[in-house]
Copies of this chain bind each other. A is one copy, B any other.
Amino acid sequence: MTAGFDMTDLLRPGLPAGAAEWAGDPPFNFVGGHNDPASVPFGGFAEAAATALARHGPALAAYNLGGSPQGHLPLREFVAEALARRAQMPTDPSQVLITSGSLQALDLVNAALVAPGDPVVVEKCTYAGTLSRLAALGAEVHGVELDSDGMSIDHLDEVLESLSRHRRRPKFVYTIPTVQNPTGTVMPPTRRIELLETARRHGVAIFEDDCYADLTFDGERPPTIRSLDNGGGGVVYCGSFSKTLAPALRLGYVVADWPVMSRLLALKTDAGSGALEQITVAEYAAAHFDDHVEALTSALHNKCQAICGALRDSFGDLARFEAPRGGIFVWVALPDGVDTDRLVAPAAARGVEFNPGSAWCTDPNYGASRMRLCFGHLRPEAIAAGIAALADTVRESLTRPASRGV
């Protein structure tokens, strides 16, 4: 049985390319949505795990801890209570589905609603993982202009009007209203109401992705769009513990009403999300969430100031950006004509990794001169050194235009 069998003959047509072997992180890693290592409350997690295991240990013998497939009830109760208190969104635990990260929330909502060819409306710069998922599903993606308050309502109206003229009903408007990814803006309450009214006027649902919403630097969090819908049934909402507690924990949630929730549950065929993480986070969050998030946000704000300062120092006029209102990334525009995809290799040679803008935009050409820089993971001195190395990379590319055509 040593004769080689080539299983690649059997691969399904149309698969994504195979992954490259993992090569480790570079010294200056500005990608990946990682968080501040010094802020992980791992001692608190250990205490919480011990308490939770003493209470729920034998229940681990049953899938879903012997409870609802919507997830561990105390965790859903915490999510519901926290959304009511922190985001002015009265929520019942029966409206909460715990997911394996908010990526599973995206997958489930997309699977319930999006068929190949369906139009979907998104912010013109948005989360690359959403764009890649919608592309894999064969959705027809329409981008809406952004300004410093988030999605432009005039342009949204135009896009929806145009789709309507062509008798195309989008499956939803996907928005990241609070700490927009990648631009870092926060949509004010009045615009949220306008967004809701505009979508409703066109008979279009909203998918509100609030996974960074706990991380505003001023601690202010507008009411969610779903809360402003006031039980109207037109908004599905998702959030995450990855950004507030730890990315390597895979816990997110969807908030939806039963007609949608029942379909999401039917599609969630994973026999539940990890119970040790659910019971530990439920125990930890009930006692410590607010204090932890306040300390984390302060640490992230310091890092944000470090990267903004480093960008000004090292890039000068070469980089345009607005300081983000929260979160872990800054969206940077370089001079027209720079192609950030072409900077990946020379930056890597200097130990720098960043997100080229093309993958984060519905129009890759618009994204080509832009990049997303995540600042949560590195220490401030590494941020400064990495940004200096990145600025050198950009300057070098500008002074050697011939090489850009290669």
Contacts and interface: CB of A to CB of B under 8 A. Distances in A.
Interface in A54-76: 54, 57-70
Interface stretch (A244-252, A287-295, A353-361): A244-252
Contacts of A37: 58-59, 61-62
B3 A232 contact: yes
Nearest to A106: B269
B5 A205 contact: yes
B248 A59 contact: yes
Contacts of A200: 1, 3, 5
Contacts of A70: 22
A151 interface: no
Contacts of A236: 7
Contacts of A231: 2
Interface in A269-305: 269-277, 280
A13 B263 CA distance: 12
| Max chain B C-beta neighbours (<10 A), residue from A19, A229, A376 | A19
Interface string A114-154: 11001000000000010011000000000000000000000
A337 interface: no
A276 B275 contact: no
Interface in A237-279: 242, 246-251, 257-260, 262-263, 265-267, 269-277
Interface string A191-231: 00000110010000100000000000000000000001111
Interface string A75-107: 000000000000000000000000011011000
Contacts of A118: 12
B15 A267 contact: yes
A85 to B, nearest CB: 21
B58 A18 contact: no
Nearest to A278: B248
Nearest to A12: B115
Given A22-B70, A111-B12, A46 B36 contact: no
Nearest to A18: B262
Contacts of A104: 270
Contacts of A246: 60-61, 275
B250 A112 contact: no
A399 interface: no
A385 interface: no
A395 to B, nearest CB: 30
Contacts of A249: 60, 274-276
B63 A33 contact: yes
B34 A58 contact: no
| Max chain B C-beta neighbours (<10 A), residue from A13, A17, A260, A274 | A274
Contacts of A38: 58
A344 interface: no
Given A6-B259, A32-B62, 4 more contacts: A16-B266, A40-B60, A61-B376, A132-B269
Interface of A: 1-8, 10-13, 15-22, 25, 32-40, 42-43, 45-46, 49-50, 53-54, 57-70, 100-101, 103-104, 111-115, 118, 129, 132-133, 169, 171-172, 196-197, 200, 205, 228-234, 236, 242, 246-251, 257-260, 262-263, 265-267, 269-277, 280, 376-377
15 contacts: A2-B231, A10-B172, A11-B263, A12-B113, A18-B259, A18-B263, A19-B262, A37-B61, A63-B247, A101-B271, A103-B269, A248-B274, A250-B272, A250-B275, A251-B274
